[in-house]
Structure 1
Amino acid sequence: MDQSLTLAPVREASAATESEFSSFSHTLPDGRVCRVQILAGGSVALHVDGEPQALLTARFDATHVSIESLAGDADSITRQPPEIFLPLFAEYFARPAHVSTIEITLPVSHAWAVEAVRRGIFDECVETTGGCRLRCRRASFWQHPALWLRAVSSAGFAQRFTLTNHHRHPVRPPKPCGVVYERQLPHLDLTFSLRTIDVERDLELFNRWMNLPNVASVWDQADDSITHARFLADQEADPHTQTLFGCFNGEPFAYFEAYWVKEDRLAPFCDAGDYDRGIHILVGNRRHQGPAKLEAWLRSLFHYVFLDEPRTRVIYGEPRIDNARWIAYMQEQGGMKLKEFDFPHKRAALVGLSRETYFEEFGPR
């Protein structure tokens, strides 16, 4: 049965008595900031650089949210890009509520609505009296990169092919620098981010982690800082591997490698596509252990890899066969154990997570 919905219950809080701004925001290409103001009584206002553009109200029935415009002329909305709605959608899709679709009725032209669909903000639009009804599915929302990517994605790099060790594969784009992905985790009151490795800045921490007994037993790379500096420099020079630190509120807690499978040593053992990737994982800061944090950062890592290159169809992992814990973690997040095989240095399990499974059934929630 339909009933009024304020945003406060979605955020697992009591109904707001005063207006407040959501923690989700989006910066447009021209530098203006889009935010959502949560108002008493269940209404919300969309703001661009502090100026309200539309007043909306929402109703829900189980997993479906219906949003209608209460005030705001059509010219005010259509002068803005459709990306102004992304922070509002995040209020529903990025919190622990089981919302699968959002339907919104706006006083906009059909041409504006079609452009919004083409830009990936909505899945479909239908003309109505005085405007259009637009729909966005949860899986589609999570595939839009605007809220999460902080670096230019790999998708725009022109396709051309080369050979590496007799493997034909696309030439890879230059690697980004700095923070490449960031996501608010309201249920943990944390911000997760991924940033690239800076050898000079990060060597001491990387060396300390690699020499931890529990890490050394898996990675087998305990050594001095000179050796690790050379290792990180080699990784930076290798176009098929991207090295990253995972951070909570800016504090590094894990080291990740995301690599293109086609030119990797894993290639002979799986049927990888041209843009499929594999991951290696090292958790160095035990203070950030725990099932809730693990699920949040692991799903976020998958999210980044899929967003960076829309042609990535599968993410592979190849943990050692006796590392039952990590095999189970990947399976719990949608991965499938495909087979066991022998690397020169270990017997491994091949685990694959498909894009379709991730976005349709899991996502980064």
Structure 2
Amino acid sequence: MSTVGPITLEPLDVDERGVRLHAWVTHPRSAFWMMQDATPAEVVADYRLVAEHPHHDAWLGRVDGEPAFLAETYDPVLAPEVGLAGLPELRPGDLGMHVLVAPPDPGTDPRPGFTRAVFAAVMAHCFRDPAVRRVVVEPDVRNERIATLNREAGFVVVRVVDLPGKQAALSFCTRADWEAAR
């Protein structure tokens, strides 16, 4: 059973959280985020662009009130920087999603169920809007950990697509598939 407390999501305040965000996205465990060599200023600049974008949002996730993860949601058709615009599989009601669980603090023990609880909270956040029919993800095909979480949540890989810097497993999760997986 999970030992994870309350999970919340709030809009990311880039100016307040830039240093922490830099530490998260450049951590070795975050290699698939493709920001390993980014400076703090570059991370802040990238997330300011997300904050200013009308169809791409960044969310700070808290567990037990403490910052613990980053999530992004985006319209896959209207957020061309992600690289999915124009794909024939996209439909009205699709919402793109990214999630990055913060690396654990040094010397702390892993919390059983932590990542799965965070992932479930992000999916619930995505489906909170009744207009969302499917959640779309495009993880690097080499990212086996996220592939497992995606499968467990009900995602189905449709095909591999070439995106900037990666081959991605274009995957969709319908509301019904997510409910069935829960």
Q: TM-score, normalised by structure 2?
A: 0.87
Deviations, residues 285-333 of structure 1 (Å, cap 9, x unaligned) = 32585551222111111111111x2111110111101112211110011
The answer (yes or no) to whether the contact 1:278–1:315 under 8 Å persists in 2 is yes
The answer (yes or no) to whether the contact 2:135–2:174 under 8 Å persists in 1 is yes
What corresponds to 1:110 in structure 2? none
| Amino acid of the structure 1 residue aligned with 2:135 | I
Q: State the shift of 1:349 in Å.
A: 0.6
Q: State the shift of 1:357 in Å.
A: 1.5
CA distance in 2, matches of 1:267, 1:249: 36
Residue correspondence of structure 1 range 250-261 to structure 2 within 5 A:
250-261=65-76
CA distance in 2, matches of 1:211, 1:189: 25
Deviations, residues 42-89 of structure 1 (Å, cap 9, x unaligned) = xxxxxxxxxxxxxxxxxxxxxxxxxxxxxxxxxxxxxxxxxxxxxxxx
| Amino acid of the structure 1 residue aligned with 2:159 | K
| Amino acid of the structure 2 residue aligned with 1:325 | R
The answer (yes or no) to whether the contact 1:318–1:349 under 8 Å persists in 2 is yes
Q: Larger RCO: Structure 1 or Structure 2 (Cα < 8 Å, ≥ 6 residues apart)?
A: 2
Residue correspondence of structure 1 range 199-214 to structure 2 within 5 A:
199-214=14-29
What corresponds to 2:59 in structure 1? 244
Decide which of 218, 223, 228 is 2:32's aligned counterpart: 218
What corresponds to 2:91 in structure 1? 273
The answer (yes or no) to whether the contact 2:140–2:167 under 8 Å persists in 1 is yes
Q: Please state whether the residue corresponding to 1:340 is helix, strand or coil.
A: strand
The answer (yes or no) to whether the contact 1:269–1:341 under 8 Å persists in 2 is no
What corresponds to 2:101 in structure 1? 283
Decide which of 125, 130, 138 is 1:310's aligned counterpart: 130
Distance change >3 Å, CA 235–CA 338, structure 1 → 2? same
Q: Counting strand residues as a fraction of each chain, which structure ranks higher?
A: 1
Unaligned runs of 5+ in 1: 1-95, 97-186
| Amino acid of the structure 1 residue aligned with 2:34 | D
CA-based RMSD: 1.9
Distance change >3 Å, CA 253–CA 323, structure 1 → 2? same
Residue correspondence of structure 1 range 84-103 to structure 2 within 5 A:
none
| Amino acid of the structure 2 residue aligned with 1:211 | T
CA distance in 1, matches of 2:39, 2:163: 26
Q: State the shift of 1:269 in Å.
A: 2.9
Between the aligned residues of both structures, percent identity stands at 22
- Does residue 231 in structure 1 map to residue 46 in structure 2? yes
Hey, which bits of structure 1, 4+ residues long, moved more than 3 A? Answer: 287-291
Q: Please state whether the residue corresponding to 1:190 is helix, strand or coil.
A: coil
Q: Please state whether the residue corresponding to 1:261 is helix, strand or coil.
A: coil
The structure with more radius of gyration: 1
CA distance in 1, matches of 2:58, 2:126: 12
Q: Please state whether the residue corresponding to 1:239 is helix, strand or coil.
A: coil
The answer (yes or no) to whether the contact 1:258–1:305 under 8 Å persists in 2 is yes
